[in-house]
Structures are given as structure tokens and as C-alpha cells.
Amino acid sequence: MSRNHLPLISLLAANAISMVGNVVAMIAIPWFVLETSGSAARTGLVGFFTILPVVLAGLLGGALIDRLGYRRTSILADLASGACVALIPLLHATLGLHFWQLIVLVFLGALLDAPGGTARSALVPDLAAQAGMPIERAASAAQVIERGSRLVGAPVAGLLIGVMGTASVLWLDAASFLVSAVLVGACVAAPPARPRPATEAYLHEWKAGLAFLRTDRLILTIVVVVMLTNFLDAAISGVILPVYVKEVFGSPVNLGLILAASGGGAMLGALGYGLVGHRLSRRGTFVTLFIFASLQLWAFALFLPLPALLTVVFACSVGAGPLNPILDAVAYEHIPADMRGRVLGTITAGAWLAMPLGVLLGGVFTEQLGVRAVLVVIALAYLATTLSMAALPAMRGMDRRIPALGTT
């Protein structure tokens, strides 16, 4: 491993550690609510306050990321978010943890975690250029880390919840933030500072990020489409899937296995795209694989036995693996280096905008209609949304490759 590759590898390692902890929390907190209240609606409410701060931080905090610097923001966000997560098991073990307190801590933890993820993403183009790596390969590596975290974190979470209980498992999540902060601080140097207007107001910088997004039809189209599919995904992952597993299989271990199958398949798909993606049509690959990935919802709606369900989830998730690397590569090529924080943050906010509502409505409709009926409706809506992408003219711009703006 050359010295030029060390910063990028260290950044990816920091992401891996932090994301594994987040996957553990993603399973532990909904299961904790279901165990203590038995309410899908309450589970949806917690999911709502997990996602809402990501939207707020992405929309309003991007200019702050650009001002503080990507490396510094990553470190500070990890430390602050880890402290919030640690308070959950601490209160549970001492004074007692009320439901409203859990919501507050979940909200603050997600609010502080989001800028760190955006900052690490903003570092990728510069570190990839330093390592002499194609942007598709670097974006795929980042997604392999994210998907691999599900493969590792999900079954470990299901096992640990059964052995240790949800409160104790959250200590592991808090520790992961600390390790991530130390790794970035020790091994990732800050990119060279770029000139910035000394008197530029924060509100002006924020508006500049929105204006950039409005003028790029391709990025704006992608945000709208992903916002619709994320609305459906949020209902599935935040409420429907935990309720489904509890009703059908009755064990958090099986929830972990399903998420692990999803993460493993997507990791394999991202690995494959990292090897050959720079030779493929981005638009054709993106649309075809998005449609294929959505077909796994029918396996849940049919209530397949666990082995068959895991097989379908894994296969369809292979198709999901290249989706985010393609989107990231397009974004890195279009966004100026000194605007990555605010534009990537705004993109994240737009993509996640409908997710709090998706989780909230997912909980309500699951209680009212039952899990099978909701799954069928979501599967039909997902198929219609992904098929529509083939007819959108702006999507043709995905195949126009340009150098990542501002890389060194």
C-alpha cells in the first residue's frame, strides 16, 4: 500500500467502523421500542425523529461544513454524536429512560451524525485523485463499506440484542464514533484550503448551494426520483420490516439475517461495478438495476420461507449495489470542490425529505391494514416509479463523463 492510498483507505475504514455501529443502532432501537411498547406506530415515530434531523442537517448545515472544513467536521460530528448515543444506555441504567427522552436523543444523535457523513463523502474526490483512482472505483469502494457494514453489523446486532439487550448494545455504537474520529484525525490530512470570499454571509453560501442544484437538471431529476423511492424505503426499513419479522419469524436474529443478505448482495454488486463500472453506460445500468432491485419486495409480500426469502433478497440486492456509486460519481463530477458540503448536504436533504413521512405513515398503515396489504401497495408503487426513469430526458446526462470538479 502506497502512502498516496493511505488517506483514502483510512477514510473508508473510519466509515466502516462508524457505519457498523449505526447498523447496530438501526436494529436495536426499533426492536427496543417494539419490546417495550408493542406499538408499530411508536416505532414509526422513533424512525421519524431519526430521519428528520438528517434532512434538517443536510439542508441547513452544508455551508457550515464548507466553512469548518471536511476533516474537522467529520471529527467533531463523530465525537458529538457518540456522546448523544452513549446517553441512551446511561440513562437506561441509572435514572431510567422515558420515551420522550429516547426521541430527543435519537433526534440529536442523527442531527450531529449527518454532517460527519457528508464531510467524509466530500473528502472522497480529493483522496481518490491523490491515489490515482477512477472516481467510479472510489465511489464503489465507499458503497462497499456501507453495504458491508450491514453484512457485518446486522447479524452481530441480532445476536448481541438477544444476549446483551438493546441498551447494552448501544454502548458499542457510541464507541464506534470515537474510533472513527480518532482514525480520521490521525490519518487523513485536510485538503488544501481554497480561496473564499472573506465577507460572504452564511445565508448567501446556503442559497448558492440551492441555486447550483436548481440549475443542474440531471442532479435535480435524480433527487426527485430518489426522494420518491426513499419515501417507500423508509416505510419498509423503519417499520414494516421489523414488524414483518416479529410477526412471521419472531426473532431479531432473522431481522439481522435479512439485512445481512441485503448488505452482502449489494456489496457484491458494488464490488463488481467498481471493477468495470467506468466502461458501462451509467444510465442504462442505473435504470435496469433499479427496477431489478425493487422486485425483492414481492418476495416479502408472498411470505416466502426464510431460506427462499434470503435468496431473493441477496440476488436483487446485487442489483442495488451499483446504484449509489453511479449517483455519487455523477455528483462528484458536477459539484465544485469548495461547494461539496452545501450541495451534497442539500442533495441528501432532498433525497431524504419524504422519508420521515414514509416512516410515520408506514407505522400507521401497517397497524390499520396489516403488513401484507402494505407490502403489495409499496411493491406496485416502487415498480411504477423505477419504470418511469427510462422516459425522463434529463437522465441521458448520466453518460456524459467529466473530470471531478476541483480535484487535485
pLDDT in tens, 122-174: 888 878 877 778 788 888 888 788 767 767 776 777 777 777 777 777 787 78
Considering only 64-73, 178-187, 298-307, 375-384, which range has the smallest mean pLDDT?
Answer: 64-73
Q: What is the per-residue pLDDT for 192? A: 59
pLDDT in tens, 41-88: 777 777 777 777 777 777 676 677 777 778 888 888 888 888 888 888
In DSSP notation, 261-304 reads: HHHHHHHHHHHHHHHHGGGS-HHHHHHHHHHHHHTHHHHHHTT-
Does pLDDT of 407 surpass 60?
A: no
Confidence of residue 309 (pLDDT cuts 50, 70, 90): very high
Does pLDDT of 19 surpass 70?
A: yes
Query: DSSP code of 391?
Result: G
- Which element (helix H / strand E) includes 46? helix 40-68
Does pLDDT of 15 surpass 60?
A: yes
Distance CA 352, CA 224 (A): 10
Average pLDDT for 98-111 = 81
CA 278 vs. chain centroid, Å, equals 23
Considering only 12-26, 68-82, 363-377, which range has the smallest mean pLDDT?
Answer: 12-26
Residue 343: all three cell numbers together: 450541495
Q: What is the per-residue pLDDT for 2? A: 53
Total residue length of the chain: 408
Q: For residues 112 and 78, is the Cβ–Cβ distance under 8 A?
A: no
Phi-psi region of 165 (alpha: psi -120 to 50; beta: other; left: phi over 0): left
Q: What is the per-residue pLDDT for 53? A: 74
| Cβ neighbours of 198 (radius 10 Å) | 5
Q: What is the per-residue pLDDT for 190? A: 65
Whether pTM exceeds 0.85: no
What is the tally of structural domains in the chain? 1
Q: Is residue 116 part of a domain?
A: yes
Average pLDDT for 82-110 = 81
Owning domain of residue 280: 6-186+201-398
pLDDT in tens, 176-187: 888 888 888 877
Q: What is the per-residue pLDDT for 3? A: 60
Mean model confidence pLDDT for the chain:
79
Confidence of residue 408 (pLDDT cuts 50, 70, 90): very low
Query: DSSP code of 132?
Result: T
Confidence of residue 308 (pLDDT cuts 50, 70, 90): very high
Q: Is residue 221 part of a domain?
A: yes
Average pLDDT for 238-250 = 83
Query: DSSP code of 339?
Result: G
Q: Is residue 25 part of a domain?
A: yes
What SS3 string covers 216-238? CHHHHHHHHHHHHHHHHHHHHHH
Confidence of residue 315 (pLDDT cuts 50, 70, 90): very high
Q: What whole-number percentage of the chain has pLDDT above 90?
A: 3
Confidence of residue 37 (pLDDT cuts 50, 70, 90): low
Residue 103: all three cell numbers together: 426521541
- Which element (helix H / strand E) includes 315? helix 306-320
Helices 40-68 and 6-37: angle between axes, nearest 10 degrees:
150
Q: What is the per-residue pLDDT for 311? A: 94
Q: What is the per-residue pLDDT for 124? A: 83
| Cβ neighbours of 394 (radius 10 Å) | 16
Q: Is residue 115 part of a domain?
A: yes
Q: For residues 16 and 143, is the Cβ–Cβ distance under 8 A?
A: no
Average pLDDT for 353-376 = 82
Does pLDDT of 314 surpass 90?
A: yes
Q: Is residue 1 part of a domain?
A: no
Q: What is the per-residue pLDDT for 316? A: 93
- SS3 state at 64: helix
Q: What is the per-residue pLDDT for 312? A: 94
Distance CA 113, CA 111 (A): 6
Q: What is the per-residue pLDDT for 292? A: 92
Nearest 10 degrees: Cα torsion 36, 38, 44, 46: -10
Considering only 129-133, 231-235, 240-244, which range has the smallest mean pLDDT?
Answer: 129-133
Considering only 41-50, 213-222, 369-378, which range has the smallest mean pLDDT?
Answer: 41-50
Distance CA 347, CA 55 (A): 9
Q: For residues 389 and 395, is the Cβ–Cβ distance under 8 A?
A: yes
Q: What is the per-residue pLDDT for 225? A: 81
Distance CA 368, CA 247 (A): 15
Query: DSSP code of 197?
Result: -
Distance CA 260, CA 131 (A): 30
Q: Is residue 196 part of a domain?
A: no
Q: Which ranges of 132-251 does DSSP label H, i.e. alpha helix?
A: 135-164, 166-187, 202-215, 217-235, 241-248
Q: Is residue 172 part of a domain?
A: yes
Distance CA 46, CA 297 (A): 23
Query: DSSP code of 191?
Result: P
Distance CA 291, CA 145 (A): 23
Nearest to residue 368, comparing CAs of 360, 29, 246? 360
Residue with cell 434531523: 53
Q: Is residue 254 part of a domain?
A: yes
CATH number at residue 25: 1.20.1250.20
